[in-house]
Structure 1
Amino acid sequence: MKSSASFNRKLLSTLIAASLTTGVYAQDQGLEEVVVTGIRASLTNSVNVKRTSGSVVDAISAEDIGKLPDTTIADSLQRIPGIQIRRSAGEGAQVNVRGMPQVSTLLNGEQFLSAGSITTSQPELTDIPAELLSRVDVMKSSEAKTLAAGVAGTIDLKTRRPFDMEQGWTFAGSAEGSQGSYTDDETGHKVAGFAGFNNGDNFGAIVTVTNSKATMANYRYGMYSEGWYRGYHENVERDPVTGSDKYWPGYATPTDLTNDGDTNDVLFGTIDYGATNKTTERERTGISGSVQFQATDSIELLADVFYTKMDQGDYVNGLIADNAWSSYDWISPNPSANVVNRGKAVGGNGKDFYTTSITDLDAVRVLAKSETQMSERESLNFNLQANLELTDKLSGSVRYIHGNATNDATRNFADAFITSGAQHGLSTNVGGVKAPVNPGGYGPDRVPVVADFSGKHPSFAYPEGFGQDINGYGLVSSFADQNRDEESTLDVFRIDGTYDFQDGVKLDFGYRFADREVVRDQYDYVAPFVVKDANGNDVTVYSKWRDSGLEGVKGGETIAQTFSFTDLQDMGLITSISDFGPASDGNSYYFIDTNAMKNNLAFQEKLYPGNVRVKDGAESYIVEDKTQTFYVQASFEGEAGLPYQANVGLQYIETDLSITKYERDFTYTTVVDGVTYPTLDGTPRTITGTDVIERGFNDFLPRMNIAFDTSDNTKLRLAYTKTMQQMDANLLGRGRIFTTNYDSTNNVFKSVSASEYGNPYMNPWRSENYDASFEWYFSDSGMVSVGAFRVDLETGIATRGTKIDAVPDSDGVLRNTNQIDLTVTENTEGNVMKGWEVAYQQGFDFLPGAWSGLGTTLNYTYTTGEGSQKDFYGETMPVQDNSKHQVNAVLWYEYDQWQARVAYNYRSERFMSRQWIDGNPSAMWSAPTAYVDASVSYDINDNVTVYLQGTNLTEEYEESYMQWTDVVVDQNIYEARYTLGVRAKF
């Protein structure tokens, strides 16, 4: 286990070299004289946005993004009441507003494409560098002129514009280095540069460029194959006719595992247990530019470009004990552990359900797993705009937006055995000679392992010396599946107009046409194998699974081969790892080097040449969404007992959807160079054609916002809005997936059930939203606000079971005359999200001397909503991924040349999903989290600032549990990260 990192000589020398050689770099906070100056000025800017807005809005300014101790935009957004985030490798990534993911993201008031959320509506902001932005607005109630608004809320990213700058040239920049408490041998960097010119008359241009790279620890303990749970039955009786177990899975003989005097209970367990060394490497590049030209007194021309690119690698090496997906008699409570009776599940199998915190594993298999997942995200968005002053009263704009985004992802897996395979009867058959798949591995006995979840972090104890001899390792299985290429294009043309009656009344109106297409291609790599059948004849088969224990033909030879680690070490493919974070046991274990797996095709070709790419029609689709929007909005102010400002309007949206799905046959074959070959189970089925579904619908969306000035410094806001947002493309386009079993009698695979998680006939998200808030502005940067909200979702999503006709077996013959089960996704009745928010911020400038530099920002959000799923005891679960309670507390200081902040974020537990464990429904939860971040900076002079930041200072981790808080399923371990940097402006 590594201790928390301090800044060593390597880091300091890197930072010094960067500050001396980089030149001029830019960052949001590098533009203090352009946008805001200092923490108080940024808070003042945010207060002004909220106070003068026509709807319910919260904002963070450039100082908030740049100088809060936050790494991503999402990290900064979590400071706003009502916003919850999920993390990826410890960094803020996905964003909820008021407990819901149905949130739209705009760029300068218009839709754009983010490569992180091509198929989804939920914002995923890890690929957008914060340095490119000057402000972020969160619109919780939308106006009629707010186009492409989200159901729960709308996030509007604001970039800089040249005419906002002072006259002349402006240069600014920053350079920083970072380290993590676990990855302290990896130094990250970020550099940014800004140049801007404003001639003070009719022309201006700016450009910002930024690049960053970091390696972050992201260890995982507990369950490796998330979602695969089991209840282990004690009582096993042999059926006198078939000889099989009546209760499956179970023990060979009746056993009283729980010491309650009977053998008729269920013990909670999982498919596998282990500890993984996982690191995430991210490199971000961002470029934004803007040109403004005042062509005439009445015509302003504007052009924006916004480019982002992020390359990410996730590298996993895990020591995993599992049941080999075959034997279910491998767990029992440790004698030292408490065994807890949880009672009987509602809708379960009628047996008592038990849990234990320390489990003895009679491990059927122990794996040294290696996994590399690579993604390349890239997006480019253009905005061409003309702002027109047609008369003294009539003005408007014409805009054309084009966006293109791609997200290409690959996966590569290598499973090495440390056990022999004899424990579960997995053997090779080459030339009629059978042997365990890993003859040099541990065995033939099972491996005694103790999985202890009773402490802060899980631990896993193996026998003395286990896994220490490289000769005991063998690569038994590898595959490269579920790779995907995603691409989206967007074209928007819109005309907006405003007629100002100049007596407090304005009329906004406009038209918008948008065409967005999402193309998703998922594919596997399959390799050829020449094997002998039962008669000794050569047969060529293609397989996705390169498993040395997998038969190519029934009764014939097995495909692939087992590669000994000693041979692979000579090929430079082996590494030794002892670092598993807090769960390290002091031993080193051998793994396939994940760096050698970055190019998944090249790695597979090195072991098994001849791979071909086979498209998975069940997971591929094309979705095109065309909309025409007309809107009209009247804004006016007056007095009705109290002064007020209001806007009332209507949007009309006409939507045309075209969804292309792929038809497939049911035979296990693939065509390579015009020749048809048989394939083994798991290989995607041949695409035979397409099915295009076209739909259209219309929406009328009234919206109203009104604010009363209850005094010179207080406002009462009321809002009613109706919203609509399209379903995620995955929910519309994904196809039908069949679950198969092997039929040994006919030597075929039979489809026994199916699931369809994409449904092209589902309606969009629709809701009616209500907001009420009271705001008190007691100083330029001081504010107290209290708000209540309610979101009535008209539509929801649920799965339903039904029956369909059976499909042909793998040889094309239909043998099953009975129907099979189909799980479908469909619209269901919506639910209600409601809650309230309270916020307070103030600078204590009334205090004497240096104490006047103190200030604080505090907020609390309560959000609740009832879902449709039941837990173990039949209680209705809340909406998924929503935390009922969220708290933010920021203490800041700004005096003379010093600035400092400490930020705290608390999020209560959240419901993740319901899992079925042999008929026992259980609710899976994510435990509460509390993150602490801090930063301090010092202005050396008017032009140069040095700063130090720390994120996740307490090394907070995220933990999931099954129904009960003491039944831990897994943990994701994040590290503390420390950053030292310098900023300059000229």
Structure 2
Amino acid sequence: MNSHSESRPGVSRSRLLVGAVSSFAMLAALSGTAHAQSTNTTEASDKDVETIVVVGIRRGIENSINAKKSLGVIAEVVSAEDIGKLPDVSIAESLARLPGVAAQRIDGRASQLSVRGLGPDYTTTLLNGREQVSVGDNRGVEFDQYPSELLAGAAVYKTPTATLLAQGVAGTVDLQTIRPLKFGRRQFAVGARYEQNDLGALNAGTSENGNRVSLAYIDQFMDGKLGVALGYAHMESPYQSNRYEAWGYPTVGSNPFNVPANTFVIGGVKPYALSGNITRDGYMGVIEFQPSETLTLSLDGYYSKFNDEQILRGIELPLWWSGAQLQPPPTAVVSNGIIARGTFNGVKGIIRNDVRAREAELSALAGKAEWQFGPRDSLVVDLSWSKGDRTDTDIESYSGTGRGSAGATDNLAFATAEAGRLVFKPSINYGDYNTISLTDPGGWGQAGYYKAPGTVDELNTLKIAAKHEFSGDKAIKSVEYGVGYSDRSKEKTVNEWFLDLAGGASSVTIPTSARVGQTNLSWLGLGNVVSYDPRGFLGTVYSLRPNTAADVAIKSWLVEETLITAFAKFNIDTDVGSLPLTGDFGVQVVNTDQSSTARGRSNSNATLVTKTEGTDYTYVLPSMNLAFALDNDAKIRVALARTLSRPRMDQMNAAFSYSYDSSIVPTRGTRWFQNSGNPLLQPILAQALDVSYEKYFGRRAYFAVAGFYKNLESWIVDSVERPFDATGLIVPTGAPASPTTVGIASSPGNVKGGFIRGVEFTASFPFDQFVPALEGFGANFSATYNDSSIKPIAGQPATKVPGLSEQIFNTSIYYERYGFQARLSNRYRSDFTGSVVAFGANLETRSIQAESVLDGQIGYTFQSGPLNNLSILFQVNNITDEPFTTLINDDERLVKDYQEYGRTFLVGVNYKF
């Protein structure tokens, strides 16, 4: 594994912890005779046969292996060790350890997933087989909305079947809650954890301490005809981050600095200390009723309320892109084509005290009836509803030495430090309340900014499916057929305001009641900065001025979709020569009717108008899955399919705006330009071939190698240019006339595709499979190699696929025996292109550097006496304090964003009875 090797405070502690985990496991193995065994052994009354009841880590692994083996498609499965005990803190982290799956961290948490080199918008997420909405701006589900304590497991379907209505080009993730009738016994489980981040509370008024509490109850009534499962999970999870963000890197010429042409220089920086806290309450309920052997009714409910509040305090430093003057050589030093050290004189620093808050609610309700109405015929009716409602607030508050050109300026020295970020030496004390006041230090025409975006996403689905089993010795054993209907609407609203000082004041002393001390930015050499809470300033210290600019107006939109899917699947169970063959083949016919309503400006100085536009299309999606059973418990699987992923919703929006180039000479031959979304977008289509070889060693171990090739019939890019007729549009007052009425329009568009291909290797085995003396030890390993080529424009370089890492490695080494548990897990992904939230709350594509995240845990479960079934657990996440780094144009010199999250420690207990 290419773990991060930079020298940062605390790495030595993490190495000690890794050593401690390994030593603990070895001691447990050596001292095993002093403890009760972790397996229960009973003797049959008349036979000397042992029944082994596997618990803990090995139970979860064995359940996952058995599920993977029995599925009719190529898939990966993660199963809970026990009720409320998935092997990781979040379901996203558990899924990210599966072959071909990788996580993108957001604020230090694994939140979004890439499957087989494709980002989250190309994977569909289900809950108990039903498609789910998202509280984000697009289709990609944020998995931290789903408490891992309420899930029994999850499956990642890499190949589709005709009965799987919600498919994605990358794959389908199905989150699963407990089925009480299948569980078959009463059980009550409770868990609690305390957590702490080793960065401490970076901002005053925040905490580094958190907690988690979970409850689960499962029972059966009426002689096993009625089953109930209820669950509740509460989380208060703090997180911290030292953040460095660069504005960008312009180039300087040889004069007046006498440096080589095209030398890069820092344009400006925006470092923060971030303290956040997530509060989440999740509720799960399942009722199953089986009044007879031919009828089963079920009702599933899920609800979570998610609050995420962030405090960001730091300083924004306009450098080259400002009136600041870079001092020439020898003060400025060029290294590797970039000015790596120097001094800017006349820097006007902008102290930032920002508050960001997100409130999100996610609800899902579903009912299903399964009726066996004949000896060979059955019917399933499945109805579901899900809704996501999110509201964000973002307050930016500026302060400094004076408004605009007034007030003291800084002579700021800088030098390049580790990972390409800069450290500074200021000449101003930014932590002095006598020097710093509320004002507009940058001369931006505002003393702050306030944003309030939100989304509402609602989805209704209905699936009616029938099954007929054929009689006799036939290759095709049964057919499943039916129709699916879904109706989805997603609305995004954005309102933004400039913050002005009340009464037209040029500066205001920071109110004493709002002061919270100072924030330490010494990790960047900037020392302390003044810190205060601006939330009470709205309507008092600040007056709100609406931002009516077109680029704000077009951020709001509504997208609506209606899908009707007819499907049929034929199930195979036969022999080919001496080889047993199982599988299926089938087809879906999918009709989509989509539209969007949004606002825009009809020309450069007109009022807003509303526009609705849409289209419909129908595609045929065949699929086939075949599994050949070989000798010695091995399988060869072959799958063929045509799949689709519908466009991102922000790409489909109907918003539009016009701009006019008033420069002396139009650089592109016209002065008219249009930017818009595209409600007429067609989906991304792929023809996929998958081949997998799987070798199983009973229920305990397996080895697999799989290869896939996806021929992308089409792709979508964010900007396709085309001419448009600008006749009748109004030239702005005082602007020169355009030489032509033909303008250039830019919008997302369908283009020629390419391919994605990859190979996956997986092995899971207990060491005593080979060396009996190593009983209790085991390992899971997977390696994925991906490759792609998409050239939407002939002669141009290939487009990078969002979410594609060429290499992904996942490794877990564990020990479990005599009640002791220990696990050390690492997940590595190479560089990839990902989407991050950028300026203006818009998504921006950036190059994200490779990362290697190491987690560990140790625990003990009591298996007799008064503490029987009580387990204690200690976990450490991000042991090596792996940073998150993004680059501009894949250039390691041009660091855009650098974030350190620290380690998170968790101590917990679980009890079941």
Question: If the TM-score is normalised by the length of the shorter chain, which range does it land in?
Answer: 0.7 to 0.9
Aligned to 2:581: 644
Match of 2:708 among 760, 784, 789: 789
Return 5+ residue gaps in structure 2 as ranges.
1-7, 15-50, 202-206, 441-445, 665-669, 837-844
Cα offset for 1:877? 5.5
Distance of aligned partners of 1:508 and 1:328 in 2 relative to their CA distance in 1, 3 Å threshold? farther
Q: Give the conservation status (yes or no) of the 8 Å contact 1:189–1:212.
A: yes
Distance 2:492 2:894 in 1: 38
Q: Give the conservation status (yes or no) of the 8 Å contact 1:113–1:381.
A: no
Aligned to 1:604: 538
Cα offset for 1:823? 3.0
Aligned to 2:559: 623
- 1:824 equivalent to 2:747? Answer yes
Q: Give the conservation status (yes or no) of the 8 Å contact 1:3–1:181.
A: no
- 1:455 equivalent to 2:395? Answer no
- 1:108 equivalent to 2:108? Answer no
Aligned to 1:288: 284
Cα offset for 1:143? 0.6
Distance of aligned partners of 1:640 and 1:927 in 2 relative to their CA distance in 1, 3 Å threshold? same
Q: Give the conservation status (yes or no) of the 8 Å contact 2:297–2:369.
A: yes
Aligned residues: 827
Aligned to 2:524: 583
Q: Secondary structure at the match of 2:768?
A: coil
Q: Give the conservation status (yes or no) of the 8 Å contact 1:734–1:756.
A: no
Which amino acid in the other structure matches residue 237 of structure 2? A
Which amino acid in the other structure matches residue 360 of structure 1? T
Cα offset for 1:336? 7.6
Q: Give the conservation status (yes or no) of the 8 Å contact 1:205–1:292.
A: yes
Distance 2:649 2:68 in 1: 33
Distance 1:657 1:735 in 2: 15
Q: Give the conservation status (yes or no) of the 8 Å contact 1:736–1:754.
A: no
Distance 1:883 1:764 in 2: 23
Which segment is superposed worse, 322-331 or 489-498? 322-331
Cα offset for 1:562? 3.0
Aligned to 1:863: 786
Cα deviation 1:569-621 (Å, max 9, x = unaligned):
33x22333333474355x3211342xx43xxxx63212234666979541112
Distance of aligned partners of 1:6 and 1:841 in 2 relative to their CA distance in 1, 3 Å threshold? closer
Distance of aligned partners of 1:633 and 1:743 in 2 relative to their CA distance in 1, 3 Å threshold? closer
Cα offset for 1:338? 4.4
Which amino acid in the other structure matches residue 87 of structure 1? R
Aligned to 1:99: 117
Which segment is superposed worse, 45-54 or 887-896? 45-54
Match of 1:561 among 499, 502, 505: 505
- 1:970 equivalent to 2:889? Answer no
Cα deviation 1:468-504 (Å, max 9, x = unaligned):
4322213223444442221111111111111122546
Aligned to 1:522: 494
Distance of aligned partners of 1:465 and 1:415 in 2 relative to their CA distance in 1, 3 Å threshold? closer
Distance 2:650 2:483 in 1: 29
Q: Give the conservation status (yes or no) of the 8 Å contact 1:320–1:366.
A: yes
Distance 2:674 2:96 in 1: 36
Alignment of 1:684-763 (within 5 A): 686-688=607-609, 690-733=610-653, 735-737=655-657, 754=673, 756=675, 758-763=677-682
Distance 1:497 1:812 in 2: 69
Aligned to 2:90: 72
- 1:207 equivalent to 2:170? Answer no
Distance of aligned partners of 1:215 and 1:727 in 2 relative to their CA distance in 1, 3 Å threshold? same
- 1:467 equivalent to 2:430? Answer yes
Which segment is superposed worse, 969-978 or 151-160? 969-978
Q: Secondary structure at the match of 1:968?
A: strand
- 1:255 equivalent to 2:221? Answer no
Which segment is superposed worse, 181-190 or 383-392? 181-190
Distance 1:663 1:649 in 2: 44
Aligned to 1:883: 805
Distance 1:97 1:791 in 2: 13
Q: Give the conservation status (yes or no) of the 8 Å contact 2:849–2:884.
A: yes
Q: Secondary structure at the match of 1:606?
A: coil
Cα deviation 1:686-713 (Å, max 9, x = unaligned):
533x222131111100000111112231
Distance of aligned partners of 1:964 and 1:37 in 2 relative to their CA distance in 1, 3 Å threshold? same
Distance 1:454 1:402 in 2: 52
Aligned to 2:878: 952
Match of 1:899 among 816, 821, 829: 821
Cα deviation 1:436-494 (Å, max 9, x = unaligned):
3xxxx314xxx322332233573432334532432221322344444222111111111
Cα deviation 1:335-377 (Å, max 9, x = unaligned):
484433xxxxxxxxxxxxx323334333532111122221111
Q: Give the conservation status (yes or no) of the 8 Å contact 2:73–2:159.
A: yes
Cα offset for 1:38? 1.7
Distance 1:368 1:164 in 2: 59
> Under a length normalisation based on structure 1, what TM-score does the superposition of the two structures give?
0.78
Cα offset for 1:61? 0.4
Distance 1:985 1:701 in 2: 46
Distance of aligned partners of 1:455 and 1:309 in 2 relative to their CA distance in 1, 3 Å threshold? same
Q: Give the conservation status (yes or no) of the 8 Å contact 1:420–1:442.
A: no
Aligned to 2:853: 931
Cα deviation 1:6-52 (Å, max 9, x = unaligned):
99xxxxxxxxxxxxxxxxxxxxxxxxx9x983222211111111111
Q: Secondary structure at the match of 2:554?
A: helix
Q: Give the conservation status (yes or no) of the 8 Å contact 1:219–1:581.
A: no
Distance 1:796 1:623 in 2: 20
Match of 1:88 among 106, 109, 114: 106
Q: Give the conservation status (yes or no) of the 8 Å contact 2:84–2:151.
A: no
Cα deviation 1:913-961 (Å, max 9, x = unaligned):
99xxxxxxxx963221111000111113432111000000110102223
> Under a length normalisation based on structure 2, what TM-score does the superposition of the two structures give?
0.84
Distance of aligned partners of 1:603 and 1:496 in 2 relative to their CA distance in 1, 3 Å threshold? farther
Which segment is superposed worse, 289-298 or 50-59? 289-298
Cα deviation 1:501-555 (Å, max 9, x = unaligned):
2546111111111111111111123xxxxxxxxxxxxxxxxxx36389xxxxxxx
Distance of aligned partners of 1:331 and 1:380 in 2 relative to their CA distance in 1, 3 Å threshold? farther
Which amino acid in the other structure matches residue 163 of structure 1? L
Q: Give the conservation status (yes or no) of the 8 Å contact 2:147–2:282.
A: yes
Which amino acid in the other structure matches residue 243 of structure 2? R
- 1:774 equivalent to 2:693? Answer yes
Match of 1:191 among 189, 192, 213: 213
RMSD after superposition:
3.3
Distance 1:163 1:692 in 2: 48
Match of 1:374 among 357, 363, 378: 357
- 1:49 equivalent to 2:15? Answer no
Distance 2:77 2:315 in 1: 45
Match of 2:869 among 923, 943, 961: 943
Which amino acid in the other structure matches residue 569 of structure 1? P
Q: Give the conservation status (yes or no) of the 8 Å contact 1:904–1:930.
A: yes
Distance 2:616 2:225 in 1: 45
Which segment is superposed worse, 303-312 or 106-115? 106-115
Distance 2:901 2:412 in 1: 26
Alignment of 1:146-157 (within 5 A): 146-157=164-175
Distance 2:689 2:796 in 1: 31
- 1:269 equivalent to 2:203? Answer no
Cα offset for 1:845? 3.0
Distance 1:128 1:718 in 2: 33
Distance 1:843 1:333 in 2: 62
Distance of aligned partners of 1:122 and 1:333 in 2 relative to their CA distance in 1, 3 Å threshold? farther
Distance of aligned partners of 1:363 and 1:961 in 2 relative to their CA distance in 1, 3 Å threshold? farther
Return 5+ residue gaps in structure 1 as ranges.
8-32, 235-253, 341-353, 423-435, 526-543, 549-558, 669-684, 745-750, 915-922
